[in-house]
Structure 1
């Protein structure tokens, strides 16, 4: 008797996941760079205050890219309104994650 594989879980496409995460992190790095290098530093802030937002925000962007991949794999291939919902939900999740990364990165300096 041979076992049947009736799993509905899709395998993870590692290449596509990495591309989405890199794109999400690159967008986040570009956005936080506008704040970090475009603003004026307060002398009361630590010497290397720019390092924290330049690390945390791209990590949040990469997590948002991973969430986009998961939503894309489960809902984007659906017909009709589910595809539109997947696109809106993906963008909303990414924007909220990016905003949270910016707040966490700039906490104590520009976001005080």
Structure 2
């Protein structure tokens, strides 16, 4: 007799896409504050804004996907595990967003 002890849940693609789009939108808003405020250095290339506007929302979408995974596995747990899931998901998103900003602005504003 075999028993299936697997706890994997099916992926809810709609919810995953919603979390990724929300993460990307937040990241786009944050990087836009950095990019469009102030005058750029004239020594920078003409299209220097393209790189951060692509990389940072991708990092935000990855953070949204991580939030989805953490949410699926820990958020429905009782007690302290729910609080841990919330703190962990916010921490992972903020670190991913920071890394996306650094990678996007490397060589221009982050020098």
TM-score of the superposed pair, with normalisation by structure 2: 0.95
- Structure 2 unmatched runs, 5+: none
Cross-structure match for 1:54: 53
Structure 2 SS opposite 1:11? coil
Structure 2 SS opposite 1:94? helix
Aligned-residue offset at 1:6: 4.6
Written as runs of structure 1 = structure 2, the 5 A alignment for 1:14-93 is 14-93=13-92
Displacement over 6 Å in runs of 4+: none
CA RMSD of aligned residues (A): 1.4
Distance 1:81 1:6, change over 3 A: closer
Structure 1 SS opposite 2:91? helix
TM-score of the superposed pair, with normalisation by structure 1: 0.94
